[in-house]
Amino acid sequence: MVNTGGLALAAVAAGAAMLAWSRSARRVPQAGAAGPGLPWLAAGALGAAGGLLVLGWRQAQGVPGLLGSRLGHLVLAVVLVLLLAAAGAAWLHRRQASASAAERPAWRRLEAMLTGALALLALVFGTAIWRLPGEALAIAHWPFAWRYDPDLPVSPHTWRRLWAALAQTGAAAVLLAAALAAGRWRLACLAAAAALALAADWPRPQMLLTEANRSSYQRSALPFSDANLLDGGRLYQAHCAACHGAAADGRGERAAGLPVWPSVLGPALFENRLEGDLHWRVAEGGQVPAGRPAMPAFGQTLDPRQIWQVLDYLRLRAYAAGGGAGMPAVPAPVVALDCRDGRATRLSGLRGLPLRVVAYAPRAPEEPQDPRLLTVALTRGGAGWPDADCVAAGAQAWDAYALAAGVPPDELAGAQFLVDRRGWLRARRLPGAAPAWTSADNVCGPAGRMEDGSAGGLGELLLAMDRAPIALPDIRREQ
């Protein structure tokens, strides 16, 4: 289940309050009796709509999630219901004020009926939010051909044009509202509003936005497992390495004969491009200015799941190149486990606890157990049980973490990885680099490196991970 309990509770509470108002309104049969005030209903519905929009914005990760995910669509549906309730209450208040005393009971019944119907809709949508599955935060599609890119350089002149156009449009909206409320000056206000709206000089979209496609904000929902990562590596070597190189360095055997030199598929690629844009590019291919294909479209060769496997493999490979520096956070590969106390059978089952993943070296001194975290030992099928809380004995688990370390599998022994409570890779200690821990952020200090390998240094790393959690939501399905 998505962690949307607070959001669902707010939606249900808003619907319940509207339903209570409706019941109270139906209990006022006398023509002159005072009932629950429509202005209070309108104000309450507007406040609830604003609060739900803020909660939904935070939970769905902004505009892309609100417009492109199931959770966002349900939140917008509840907000629309509340706005309709507020608009209906304001309209009915005006109509009721001009009605005769004999007509007011009929208006009161209409108010109660409409508010009750909207309340039931809000309750239904709130219940749907509560029952959302884990994939509900995954963005299904982006409905526009453009999107905002904070890294896109925009000139001050363009910003001035945008603010001027917004100011004109705001003034037109104020005049339109005044026209609806005015009497004798209605036509003049409407004409002025139309003139201001038509005169607004909006900058062209490409001056403020970057091109987008329906999958721009999609992210992989596949389990970040050793099997999927290694399958992605095999697919990459079979379909991509000839051009992009076996090491994803853009130096494949066909690279020199291509109209455009292949990209280096490293950390900068994942820092500057959205996952969904990369998926789209692999599926649909690339174009050079002359119109000749720079990269073939693999949408007919690879299915969407296989493309995500390739991209996840490349993400982990890019993490290996720089320890995650200059790219978004990377999850720890999920592997099968055998724990002493039977608490989990997969690494994902240990969420909520900090982990230390150690590539076990039989002849090396064992790391002492630390009660502040769980130790997971990678043994590659070796006999015996090392001094660890859990053991991952599979060869695939070993190979996946060798990929994360950027070393051949035969050289992984002795490597260590720190995984935070939400399953993200936060620091690593490579073979031969002991006692230095390195990280992509400030977990290991301002320079991203900590030389203290003692228990005290490890404690500082754990505190730093808890102080600065990764804010990205985890939408990946569990195996």
Mean pLDDT of the chain: 85
Write down the pLDDT at residue 134. Answer: 64
Position 457 confidence tier, pLDDT thresholds 50, 70, 90 = confident
- Strands of 390-392's sheet in order across: 338-339, 390-392, 374-378, 355-359, 416-419, 425-429, 437-438, 449-450
Position 136 confidence tier, pLDDT thresholds 50, 70, 90 = low
308 vs 221, higher pLDDT? 308
In this predicted structure, the answer to whether residue 186 has a pLDDT above a threshold of 90 is no
Q: At what angle do helices 38-59 and 70-97 cross, to 10 degrees?
A: 170
User: Taking the domains of the chain in order of start, what are their residue ranges?
Assistant: 5-140, 156-208, 226-322, 338-467
Mean pLDDT of 39-45: 86
Share of the chain above pLDDT 70, in %: 88
Retrieve residue 323's tokens.
Answer: 């320890």
211 vs 363, higher pLDDT? 211
Retrieve residue 25's tokens.
Answer: 């309104």
Report yes or no: 68 and 217 within 8 Å, Cβ to Cβ: yes
Cis peptide before 153 (omega within 30 of 0): no
Write down the pLDDT at residue 2. Answer: 47
Write down the pLDDT at residue 165. Answer: 93
67-85 confidence digits (pLDDT tens): 888 888 999 999 999 999 9
In this predicted structure, the answer to whether residue 291 has a pLDDT above a threshold of 60 is no
Q: Which conformational region is residue 472 in: left (phi greater than 0), alpha (psi within -120 to 50 degrees), or beta? A: beta
Retrieve residue 412's tokens.
Answer: 């992984």
Write down the pLDDT at residue 32. Answer: 45
Retrieve residue 390's tokens.
Answer: 């859990």
225-279 confidence digits (pLDDT tens): 999 999 999 999 999 999 999 999 999 999 888 888 898 999 988 888 889 999 9
Write down the pLDDT at residue 458. Answer: 83
Write down the pLDDT at residue 33. Answer: 44
> Residue 187: enclosing H or E segment and its boundaries?
helix 186-199
Write down the pLDDT at residue 454. Answer: 72
- CA angle 402–408–414, rounded 5-degree value: 60
Mean pLDDT of 88-103: 73
Write down the pLDDT at residue 137. Answer: 66
Rounded Cα distance, 259 and 137, in Å: 39
In this predicted structure, the answer to whether residue 27 has a pLDDT above a threshold of 70 is no
> 282-316: buried (b, 16+ CB within 10 Å) or exposed (e) per residue?
bbeeeeeeeeeebbeebeeebeeebbbbbbbbbbb
Write down the pLDDT at residue 240. Answer: 94
Write down the pLDDT at residue 460. Answer: 87
Strands 437-438 and 449-450: antiparallel
> Residue 316: enclosing H or E segment and its boundaries?
helix 304-322
State which CATH number among 3.40.30, 3.30.450, 3.30.1460, 3.40.50 fits the domain covering 338-467. Answer: 3.40.30
Retrieve residue 260's tokens.
Answer: 């455009």
Instruction: Give me the DSSP letters along 82-134.
Output: HHHHHHHHHHHHHHHHTS-TTTHHHHHHHHHHHHHHHHHHHHHHHHHHHT--G
Write down the pLDDT at residue 1. Answer: 41
139-167 confidence digits (pLDDT tens): 778 888 888 887 788 888 999 999 999 99
Write down the pLDDT at residue 420. Answer: 93
Check if 226-322 and 338-467 are the same fold: no
Identify the architecture of domain 226-322 in CATH.
Answer: Orthogonal Bundle (1.10)
Retrieve residue 285's tokens.
Answer: 């291919």
Write down the pLDDT at residue 74. Answer: 92
300-325 confidence digits (pLDDT tens): 999 999 999 999 999 999 999 888 88
Write down the pLDDT at residue 183. Answer: 65
